Amino acid sequence: MTEEEYDYNTIKEVGKASFEALQHAKSLVKAGKSMLSTAEEIEKFMKDKGFECAFPVNLSVNTWAAHYTPTADDKTVFTENDVVKVDIGARKGSYLGDCALTVDLGGKHSKLVEASEKALESAISMVKAGRKVCEIGREVENIAKEAGFNPIRNLGGHGIERDDLHASIFIPNYDNGDNTELEEGQVIAIETFITDGSGYVHDGDVVQIFQLHGPMTLRSQDSRKVLDYVEKAYSTNPFAMRWLIKEFKSEFTVKKAINEMYNTGGLEAYPVLIERTGGTVTQTEKEMIVEKDSCTVITK
């Protein structure tokens, strides 16, 4: 991407806001604290700073690797043994942030957390224009294996473009043989998922995050009102069901609209991702701009 195609000052601003929100989130995750209030406080923090949310706050616990955001009436609290993945991003216009960390409330999985953090930092040190993504994945896998763990093979990092959080390129957590090379000026997120399980995730039954996928025609007037709101408020960025319930004051109306949108094929759902063998998962993520000989991390 060129300066004409991408405002790098704005994406750096968004990256900084995302990182500040992530650090604030880290201070909020405590045993006995409500998941719902935690998510709402993090999202409010970003809005008070003048940013929207690039996607709903993810608070995925233990064997859940990603994509859990609280329900509108969530009564769940963090427990003293939870391993909590906090994945968040700020948004300014079409520019998107993305970063994550793991909070080990019980202190029993420190080596697993450390492996994810070490793998990320080592992967970042390899980033430069021309670097093959499989080489980055190989480095992540080597560090995970050296620590006695496995990388999550069907999750990884990604490119980030305007209004597109998962764009253009996939950056694996193992050597998948993909010789795609990073390009100068590209904005990417490297996302290391490490587990003491088998190293694969599958879709769970819980779905609270959605994203408009294409044009659709809805029969119900109430559903059309929900769709109009989503298009104006979130465009093609992910949104939470609880956000819509708060706006429309009716869980029935929102669920009916989501079902109708999904059945037309115009809505993408993001189910919670669960480690296949019940392993605990840790996650660490940073966003960066690829440069000729290195990169600039912007979520710092």
Tell me the catalytic residues.
Answer: 87, 98, 158, 166, 191, 285
State the Cα angle at 56 between 55 and 57, rounded to 5°.
115
DSSP-derived 3-state class of residue 183: coil
Cα distances (angstroms) measured from residue 74 to each of 21, 35, 175: 22, 7, 39
Beta strands (DSSP E) in the chain are: 52-53, 58-61, 64-66, 83-88, 90-92, 95-96, 99-104, 150-151, 156-161, 164-172, 187-195, 201-212, 239-240, 267-275, 281-290, 295-297
Report residue 135 as tokens: 């080489």
In this structure, which amino acid lies at residue 146? E
Q: What are phi and psi of 74, to 5 degrees?
A: -60, 125
Q: What is the rounded distance in angstroms from the CA atom of residue 188 to the CA atom of residue 298?
A: 10
CB-neighbour burial class of residue 163 (10 A; exposed 0-12, middle 13-18, buried 19+): middle
Give the residue carrying structure tokens 């329900």. 71
Q: Please return the burial class of 251, using the count of CB atoms within 10 Å of its CB with bins 0-12, 13-18 and 19+.
A: middle
d(CA 92, CA 14): 7
Under DSSP, is residue 270 helix (H, G, I), strand (E, B) or coil?
A: strand
Question: Would you say 239 and 233 are in contact if contact means Cβ atoms under 8 Å apart?
Answer: yes
| Phi (first) and psi of residue 291, to 5 degrees | -120, 175
